[in-house]
């Protein structure tokens, strides 16, 4: 597998290499309805219409939606983002 990825990388087929890695990951962890979806800060910034720096500031202050550090990367669980947005509703229920 590693040799194949290196071969694809050296041949300039980055998209195909990603597909190979993704296919491998899917065989290790099959996607089900119970499997959480982790999203990038870029995804959330676009969704909320806020600058990326705002998300990083919220994370460092412990504000905003719950965050996860996966390696050195910041990630958000999609279901928790939905709950957080719902809790931020302005104007009360109604």
- Model's pTM, two decimal places? 0.61
Q: What is the pLDDT of residue 88?
A: 87
Q: 44 near 7, Cβ under 8 Å?
A: no
> What is the number of alpha carbons within 13 Å of residue 85 lying toward its C-beta?
12
Helix (H) / strand (E) element for 7: namely helix 2-10
In the chain, domain spans? 1-32, 38-87
Q: What is the pLDDT of residue 44?
A: 95
Q: What is the pLDDT of residue 35?
A: 81
**Distance (Å, whole) CA 75 – CA 65:** 10
Please list the rounded mean pLDDT of every run of 10 residues in the chain (94 residues): 46 46 53 81 95 96 94 94 90 61
Q: What is the pLDDT of residue 89?
A: 84
Q: 52 near 42, Cβ under 8 Å?
A: yes
């Amino acid at each position: 597998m590693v040799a194949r990825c290196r071969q694809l990388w050296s041949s300039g087929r980055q998209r195909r290499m990603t597909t190979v890695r993704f296919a491998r990951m899917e065989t290790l962890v099959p996607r089900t309805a119970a499997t959480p979806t982790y999203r990038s800060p870029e995804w959330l910034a676009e969704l909320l219409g806020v600058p990326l720096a705002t998300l990083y500031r919220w994370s460092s202050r412990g504000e905003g939606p719950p965050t996860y550090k996966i390696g050195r990367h910041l990630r958000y669980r999609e279901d928790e983002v939905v709950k957080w947005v719902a809790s931020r509703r302005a104007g009360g229920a109604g």
